[in-house]
Amino acid sequence: MNWRSLEKLDRRWLFLAMALLVAGPLLWPVGLPIVVSSPVQRFHDAIAAVPDGSPVLVPCDFDPGSRPELIPMMKTVLRQLFDKKCRPIVTCLWPGGPALVDQTLESVADEYRARGVPLESGVDYLDLGYKSGNEAVMVLMGQGIARAFPRDLRGRETRSLPILRDVGDYSSIPLLVSISGGYPGTKEWVQQVNARFHLPMVSGCTAVSAPEYYPYLQSGQLRGLLGGMAGAAEYEKLRGEKGSATRGMDAQSLAHVFIALCIVLGNVVQWRRGTGGRS
Amino acid sequence: MKREIPLFLTAVIGAVMVLGFFMPHPWISVPADFLQQSAVIVVAFGYVLGGANLLRVHLEAISRRERDWPYRIVLVAGLLGTVSVGLFVDGPGFQAQGARTMWIYNNIYAPMNATMFSLLAFFIASAAFRAFRIRTIEAGLLAVAALVVMLGRVPLGDFLARPLTDHAWVPAWLREAPLGTIQQWIMDVPQNAAKRAILIGAAMGVMATGLRVILGIERAYLGGGE
């Protein structure tokens, strides 16, 4: 093998290889078998254990940068909740996210409406939209959801909405499902809401932030965890769905193997150069 | 007085917020709730201040023709254009489907934001090849753990490793997802232990700093170079 040419490899070849390895499986999926891990099983079971018809708080704190990882899990969460006749109450503490979150919520509600399930905004689900203040908003919601969000995303007075008729503060909500892309997100919901108001929580987050939440998972403060697209794909498998996370796992698989090869090859080239120099 | 009043306010507000966490008595909880609401309002004003500051900095740089000034024009035009469309064209319904602001969001902001994140894949591949050098035992351990976690997180990793573990002497719990099981152990045990240590250390640091601020020992936030 010509190691010298590898030493001087133009990084654009790496970019091209990565692009092909990601695009290929997206166009022609292979369908590799997915094994469900324990944190994902626990995430699914925690939502399944919520009494049917309950209001469930779903803070979706992300923006379009996290779309491929978090939108699939958000959709599956909403489907699981709607199947149980639960009433998701969605918020977003990221200024770049509310429109994307609302589009996703409405697209899932439209799926159900197309199947003849008459879901209505403000009755069966609610999008409270964005509010600035990060942790302060989380604590403020402990005094009353409608107090922290006097109007929803559509400008309606939240106190008059049927969905909030039996919802005061966190004590009337059995579960919080945090879909988190970073700060503010799962960590802050654990610290400000789980720790203070003892509201049970599960989290779906980006792969890069998942390791940060493992201590909360082990301590029981998080009852389940979906880490990135892999977690979303496992969750889709549990729910019997073949969504975009499942389709994306082939591409992510090849990208991971390629990066692993890059690490190994880069070091082999380095060692070859080192031993060549000594000889 | 210029320093004493902010120090006094910080001490009182800090103490009320800390006590509010532990004491539900109305004497504490009512002012704590009021301060929470005030914090939300102050943060909202921060956006106005941030926008004004951004305009000031970039307009000055454009007028002086500083480095990359044409890009600053794009930034200022983007800011003013989006705010103007939201305020004067769409009005209160700026987040409704079909609003012009939503067109800007869906067709400009969202793709650009997603593109920035997507570029990571290319740069990580390049960095993995050029920068991840195993020169010490610690770096070697890090590389092995990274490879196992990276491959164990995806189905292809287990698919590739299965022929190595598909033997009678390998425990059954390891056979179905060999790398997946090992990566889960790495995440649950060594990673978790290190992360917990970092979290506890950081939390103690935050508590110490908070206490210093409340007691007026830490004054750097007041500015003035002290």
Q: Do A260 and B191 touch (CB under 8 A)?
A: no
Taking the C-alpha atoms of residue A108 and residue A127, their distance in angstroms, rounded to an integer, is: 13
Residues 6+ apart with CB under 8 A from A150: A157, A158, A159
DSSP letters along A64-108, please?
GGGHHHHHHHHHHHHHHHHHTT-EEEEEE-STT-HHHHHHHHHHH
Kindly state the percentage of chain B with pLDDT values over 70.
99
Mean residue pLDDT of chain B comes to 90
What pLDDT score does A31 carry?
86
Cα within 13 Å of Cα(A261), Cβ side: 11
Per-residue pLDDT of chain A (279 residues; tens, 9 = 90+): 677 788 888 999 999 999 999 999 999 988 888 989 999 999 999 999 999 999 999 999 999 999 999 999 999 999 999 999 999 999 999 999 999 999 999 999 999 999 999 999 999 999 999 998 999 999 999 989 999 999 999 889 999 999 999 999 999 999 999 999 999 999 999 999 999 999 999 999 999 999 999 999 999 999 999 999 999 999 999 999 999 999 999 999 999 999 999 999 999 998 887 775 443
Minimal C-alpha gap between A84 and chain B (Å): 28
Structure tokens, A274: 């080192």
Taking the C-alpha atoms of residue A53 and residue A90, their distance in angstroms, rounded to an integer, is: 16
Taking the C-alpha atoms of residue A210 and residue B83, their distance in angstroms, rounded to an integer, is: 35
Q: Do B117 and A66 touch (CB under 8 A)?
A: yes
Residues 32-61 of B with CB under 8 A from A: 33, 36-37, 39-40, 43-44, 46-47
Residue pLDDT, tens place only, B140-194? 999 999 999 999 989 888 888 888 888 878 887 777 778 888 999 999 999 999 9
What pLDDT score does A161 carry?
96
Beta strands in chain A (DSSP E): 55-61, 87-92, 126-130, 176-180, 201-205, 222-227
Q: Do B195 and A211 touch (CB under 8 A)?
A: yes
Residue pLDDT, tens place only, B49-73? 999 999 999 999 999 999 999 999 9
Preferred mutation among A139, A191, A252, A270 to probe B, highest tally of B CBs within 10 A = A139
Residue pLDDT, tens place only, B66-121? 999 999 999 999 999 999 999 999 988 888 888 999 999 999 999 999 999 889 99
Nearest by CB: A99 against B21, B95, B159: B95
Taking the C-alpha atoms of residue A78 and residue A111, their distance in angstroms, rounded to an integer, is: 11
What pLDDT score does A277 carry?
46
Nearest by CB: B125 against A210, A262, A270: A262
Mean pLDDT along residues B119-130:
92
What pLDDT score does B74 carry?
96
What pLDDT score does B190 carry?
94
